[in-house]
C-alpha cells in the first residue's frame, strides 16, 4: 500500500514538474515572441523596447510629447519624428537616435542632450555599440530586411547639402530621408551645388562650386558610376540631354566656361569666353540649342551646341546686351510645350517670359526679393518660384517665399511661406506635392534641431500640397548644412 502511495506521489511530482516546465517555457517563448513581433533583432529590441518605448516616453501613446517618435516597433521607428528620420540605414553618424543615446567619444558622433533614456541610467558602451553597429549594417529588421531596399525604382528626391558634401536621398512616398551619400573627391569641402537626375532615370549627376570634378551616381544603389575632372572653376549648373548621353556644365566666373561632358565615356571638352554664365537649359525639341543666363547684366546666351563660336546674346529688356548689373538673370526654364521660356531675374525681382520663336519679351511678372529656382507642374499649369530673400510678402520676421504663377495668364495666384530662405523646389506630380529646400544659412532663421557634422547651420525640407497650395502641416525634415541643389526621379 505504501509503495502504491509513493508511486502515485512520484507520478504526481513528475506531472507537476512537467506542467511547470511547460508554463515556464510558454511564458519565456511568449516574452521572446513579443519582442520578435516588434520587428527588431533581439539584441536591439531589448534596448529600444525595454529602455526607450516605455510609458511616458517613445511609445504609441506618448510619442507626441516625446518628439513625435515611437520605438514601439521597427515599422513605427521608420515613420520618423517631427524632424524627419531618426535612423538612416548605414549612417549612424547621421542618425539622431545615436546622437541622443551616445555618451562615448570613441564613436565620433554628435552627442546631444537631454541624454536618453530620460532620467534613467545612460546606455552602456556595449548597448551603444549594439545600436551603432546595427545602423551601420543598415538597421535591418528581425528578418534582415533593410528599410527602403525592397524597390530600387521607388520615387525619390535628392538634396545636395552644399556645406557638408552630402546628398540626402528621400523616399518620396513617406518623405523620409532613406540614405545619405558622401560625395566629392577631396577631404576639404567641395560644395555640391547642383544635382540632376538623367532623363533615363538611371543615374544622377552632381557639380561642385569649390571642386573640379563632375560625378555620376546610380539611382538604384547610389554607387559612383564615373567622374571627370573639369579643371579649376566654379561649376554651378548643368543640363543633361534627353538621350542621357551628354551634359553641359557651367562655370560661373568672369571668363566663364561651358564643359561638354560625354556621360558614356566620362570625358569633356571646354568652350570659354562667357561673362558670369549661370542658369542653363536646352530647347525642348532637338537639344541643339543651349540657353545660358549671364548673371551679371540684362541678357542670356543662346548657343548652338554644334558651333559655340556662333553664340549670340539675347537682351531681356529694351537695351543692348550689357554686363551692368540690372536684371541679373539667375535661372531659365522652358514651358512644357517649349513655346516660351521663363527667366528668374534676381536683381529686378521679376520673372521675364520670352517667346521661343523669336526670343521676344511676352511678359514681366513681379515676384518677391531674389527669385532663384523654378519648377513646373504640367498638370496644374503652375510655375513655382523660390524667392529666397523675400521679406515683404510675409513680414520682416519671415525671410523667403514661394510664388505660384499661372503660366497661361502670367499672373501670380498664390504666395506661400515654406521656410527660411527657400531655394530648391521640386514638383512631384505622382504624390501631389512640391518639395522645397530651405537653406537657413542666416542666423535670424529657426535654430536647427542639432549641430551639423560640418561648419554651418542645418537647413530643412518642407512640402506644399499641389492641389490646395497649402504647406503640409507637421512636415519639416532637417538635413545637413546649406541644402542647395535638388533633383527628383521621373
Look up residue 456 and give its DSSP letter: S
The sign one gets for the Cα dihedral 361, 363, 369, 374 is negative
> pTM to 2 decimals?
0.91
Q: Which residues contact 283 (CB under 8 A, 6 or more apart)?
A: 289, 291, 334, 338, 356
* Residue whose C-alpha cell is 560625395: 183
Query: Could you give the CA distance from residue 32 to residue 184 in angstroms, rounded to a whole number?
Result: 45
* Residue whose C-alpha cell is 543640363: 239
C-alpha cell at 201: 532615370
Q: What is the pLDDT of residue 66?
A: 64
Give domain limits for the chain. Answer: 42-136
Query: Could you give the CA distance from residue 156 to residue 184 in angstroms, rounded to a whole number?
Result: 21
Q: What is the pLDDT of residue 31?
A: 43
Q: What is the pLDDT of residue 121?
A: 84
Q: What is the pLDDT of residue 372?
A: 98
Beta-strand pair 277-282/458-465:
unpaired
C-alpha cell at 192: 555640391
Q: What is the pLDDT of residue 30?
A: 39
Cβ atoms of 459 and 483 within 8 Å: the answer is yes
Q: What is the pLDDT along the chain (490 residues), one digit of tens a residue?
A: 444 444 444 444 444 444 344 333 333 343 444 555 689 999 999 999 998 877 667 876 667 656 788 899 999 999 998 889 999 999 999 999 999 999 889 888 888 888 888 878 889 999 999 999 999 999 999 999 999 999 999 999 999 999 999 999 999 999 999 999 999 999 999 999 999 999 999 999 999 999 999 999 999 999 999 999 999 999 999 999 999 999 999 999 999 999 999 999 999 999 999 999 999 999 998 999 999 999 999 999 999 999 999 999 999 999 999 999 999 999 999 999 999 999 999 999 999 999 999 999 999 999 999 999 999 999 999 999 999 999 999 999 999 999 999 999 999 999 999 999 999 999 999 999 999 999 999 999 999 987 788 888 999 999 999 999 999 999 999 999 999 999 999 9
- Give the CA radius of gyration of the chain: 28
Q: What is the pLDDT of residue 57?
A: 79
| Segment (H or E) for 278 | strand 277-282
Q: Which residues contact 397 (CB under 8 A, 6 or more apart)?
A: none
Three-state DSSP class for residue 117: coil
Three-state DSSP class for residue 51: helix
Amino acid at each position: 500500500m505504501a509503495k502504491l502511495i509513493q508511486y502515485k506521489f512520484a507520478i504526481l511530482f513528475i506531472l507537476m514538474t512537467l506542467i511547470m516546465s511547460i508554463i515556464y517555457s510558454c511564458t519565456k517563448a511568449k516574452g521572446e515572441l513579443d519582442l520578435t513581433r516588434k520587428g527588431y533583432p533581439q539584441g536591439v529590441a531589448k534596448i529600444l523596447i525595454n529602455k526607450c518605448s516605455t510609458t511616458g516616453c517613445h511609445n504609441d501613446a506618448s510619442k507626441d510629447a516625446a518628439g513625435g517618435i515611437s520605438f514601439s516597433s521597427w515599422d513605427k521607428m521608420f515613420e520618423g519624428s517631427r524632424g524627419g528620420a531618426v535612423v538612416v540605414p548605414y549612417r549612424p553618424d547621421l542618425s539622431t537616435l545615436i546622437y541622443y543615446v551616445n555618451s562615448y567619444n570613441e564613436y565620433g558622433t554628435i552627442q546631444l542632450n537631454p541624454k536618453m533614456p530620460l532620467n534613467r541610467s545612460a546606455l552602456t558602451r556595449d548597448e551603444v555599440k549594439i545600436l551603432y553597429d546595427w545602423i551601420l549594417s543598415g538597421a535591418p529588421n528581425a528578418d534582415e530586411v533593410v528599410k527602403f531596399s525592397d524597390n530600387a525604382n521607388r520615387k525619390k528626391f535628392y538634396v545636395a547639402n552644399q556645406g557638408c558634401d552630402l546628398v540626402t536621398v528621400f523616399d518620396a512616398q513617406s518623405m523620409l530621408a532613406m540614405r545619405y551619400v558622401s560625395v566629392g573627391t577631396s577631404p576639404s569641402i567641395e560644395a555640391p551645388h547642383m544635382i540632376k537626375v538623367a532623363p533615363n532615370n538611371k543615374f544622377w549627376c552632381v557639380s561642385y562650386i569649390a571642386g573640379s570634378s563632375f560625378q555620376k551616381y546610380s539611382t538604384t544603389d547610389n554607387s559612383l558610376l564615373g567622374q571627370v575632372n573639369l579643371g579649376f572653376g566654379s561649376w554651378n549648373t548643368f543640363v543633361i540631354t534627353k538621350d542621357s548621353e551628354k551634359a553641359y556644365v557651367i562655370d560661373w566666373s568672369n571668363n566663364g566656361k561651358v564643359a561638354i561632358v560625354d556621360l558614356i565615356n566620362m570625358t569633356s571638352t571646354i568652350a570659354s569666353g562667357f561673362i558670369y554664365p549661370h542658369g542653363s537649359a536646352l530647347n525642348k525639341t532637338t537639344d541643339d540649342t543651349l540657353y545660358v543666363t549671364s548673371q551679371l547684366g540684362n541678357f542670356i546666351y543662346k548657343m548652338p551646341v554644334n558651333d559655340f563660336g556662333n553664340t549670340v546674346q539675347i537682351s531681356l529688356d529694351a537695351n543692348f546686351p550689357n554686363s551692368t548689373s540690372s536684371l541679373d538673370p539667375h535661372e531659365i526654364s522652358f514651358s512644357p510645350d517649349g513655346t516660351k521660356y521663363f527667366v528668374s531675374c534676381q536683381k529686378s525681382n521679376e520673372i521675364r517670359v520670352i517667346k521661343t520663336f523669336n526670343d521676344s519679351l511676352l511678359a514681366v511678372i513681379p515676384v518677391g526679393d531674389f527669385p532663384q529656382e523654378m519648377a513646373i507642374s504640367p498638370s496644374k499649369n503652375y510655375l513655382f518660384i523660390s524667392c529666397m530673400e523675400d521679406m515683404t510678402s510675409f513680414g520682416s520676421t519671415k525671410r523667403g517665399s514661394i510664388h505660384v504663377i499661372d503660366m497661361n495668364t502670367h499672373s501670380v495666384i498664390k504666395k506661400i511661406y515654406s521656410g527660411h530662405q527657400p531655394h530648391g523646389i521640386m514638383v512631384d506630380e505622382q504624390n501631389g506635392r512640391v518639395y522645397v529646400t530651405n537653406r537657413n544659412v542666416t542666423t535670424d532663421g529657426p535654430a536647427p534641431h542639432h549641430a551639423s557634422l560640418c561648419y554651418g547651420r542645418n537647413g530643412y525640407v518642407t512640402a506644399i500640397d499641389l492641389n490646395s497650395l497649402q504647406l503640409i502641416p507637421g512636415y519639416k525634415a532637417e538635413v545637413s548644412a546649406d541644402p542647395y541643389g535638388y533633383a527628383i526621379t521621373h
